[in-house]
Amino acid sequence: MSFYKEPTTYEKTALSDLQGAWTVLRDAVVENFGFPGSDKIIFHIDEAMSWECVRNLNRMYPLINLIHNLANQQLTPDNLHPRSRPLLR
């Protein structure tokens, strides 16, 4: 039986930075909360912030795409509008 090895410092730092980026987006949405669809966007951001998604980038991209599409369909404040930032690929 083998034991799971702890990730290296570099991996932990990169994952923490990624989760931190989601926190910045979430804070911006909360600051401007009240626009149509903001509750859905917060829900999906919270899902994307979970360690299960942060550690599995294959699960994260569909959530980024979904959040991007939701923000595009709504009247979001200018500082949250996806067209003001390039979509991650």
For helices 9-31 and 38-49, the axis angle rounded to 10 degrees is 170
> CB-based burial of residue 41 (10 Å sphere; 0-12 exposed, 13-18 middle, 19+ buried)?
buried
pLDDT digit string (tens) for 33-47? Answer: 888 888 999 999 999
Higher pLDDT, 79 or 41: 41
pLDDT band at residue 87 under the 50/70/90 scheme: very low
- Read off the pLDDT of each residue in 9-26 and give the average, rounded to a whole number: 79
Model pTM greater than 0.75?
no
